[in-house]
Structure 1
């Protein structure tokens, strides 16, 4: 049997890390910050030593999970920022894409919830850079759409209300095992019709 090539090793490494991060997201939804590397190993059906080889502690693992979620979130909402149409249309489209991503990808939901909680479960200042990147790449572009599209007197407050609504709807869906598919269109329409009525 010939030794693996560098490319094969890299492919295996990438597959293992994705497997570990997917398991970590599932465990985080069950246990929150109380998750341990052992829990992740069990969920991923990998040996504890294998997971520990990639991540020496849960904070390193969660940090990678959240950065990866940030990149995926940015890719998911990019079409809304670049499509044709007015700012209000783009803000609604952005919200739909974000809600769909939260439902499909637990790590994106965890990112939004963690940002909403201001990273208060995490020790030290290791998440300041992540928070700053989220602000620049996700939050502030959305605030600008709200400012232009709705003419909101306080677009940050409106953006926070929308993000909070999306996180809350996703949490209900995840933690209450709702069997029916979430009505993304209806939820976003309801949020925006209420906001527009209030701003008039």
Structure 2
């Protein structure tokens, strides 16, 4: 048998890591922080020793899972960052263009088969509602993304402070700031009358973005556990009056 090349070994390693992280996210939905490495191994269909070779404790596994999910967290909403006003600190201008991005392939074939027929556009629902629906549909396809948003709302308290602080700062930069920019654009589109003639402050919009994500996480939980989130996302958006 021909020995594997270094590139083949690296491909196998990355594929195995992705398999373990996906299994860990699935287990966390049911067991929360009580999950153990043996639970992840069973969910992934791997031996305990194989998983332990990559992750000797669940803290390291959760940490890597969340950072890996953060790499995909901005795909649901892409905001070109044009020159901001001085007071807007990193937000796109009100007239900026927003686009809902396609989902990453997470290996969930059932969800992937339903993507093409359930694309959401801002013209149908409005930009904020469309973004919320698409995000929930991504959660249905990629449970690690849901876990990222859920734990972000808790300040990543499941991690030690030295690990939670950098992750929370990155989440704010990669997720909350673009969402706040979308909310700012929505306020501008609604007209000054809706806000009493005063534009919302950037900090208020960031808090609004945090509350919106918390509401989506809470409302999506039951549908996600029942395997119905992809198809019920629009109903949730209407319930929340996004």
Say if 2:133 and 2:237, in contact at 8 Å, map to a contact too.
yes
Q: How do 1:9-48 and structure 2 match up within 5 A? A: 9-48=9-48
Greater percentage in helix: 1
Gapped regions of structure 2 (runs ≥ 5): 81-96, 101-121, 189-194
Q: Deviations over 1:83-133 (max 9, x none)?
A: 3989x9443332222111112211111000100111122233212111111
Task: Work out the CA distance in 2 between the residues paired with 1:31 and 1:102.
Answer: 17
Task: Work out the CA distance in 2 between the residues paired with 1:156 and 1:180.
Answer: 26
Tell me: CA distance 1:114–1:90, structure 2 relative to 1, closer, same or farther (3 Å): same
User: 2:234 — aligned with what?
Assistant: 185
User: 1:167 — aligned with what?
Assistant: 217
Tell me: CA distance 1:163–1:145, structure 2 relative to 1, closer, same or farther (3 Å): same
Q: How many residues align?
A: 191
User: 2:3 — aligned with what?
Assistant: 3
Task: Work out the CA distance in 2 between the residues paired with 1:179 and 1:72.
Answer: 22
Task: Work out the CA distance in 1 between the residues paired with 2:135 and 2:56.
Answer: 31
Taking structure 2 as the reference length, the TM-score comes to 0.70
Taking structure 1 as the reference length, the TM-score comes to 0.83
Say if 1:55 and 1:61, in contact at 8 Å, map to a contact too.
yes
Gapped regions of structure 1 (runs ≥ 5): 194-200
- 1:129 and 2:166 aligned: yes
Task: Work out the CA distance in 2 between the residues paired with 1:180 and 1:127.
Answer: 28
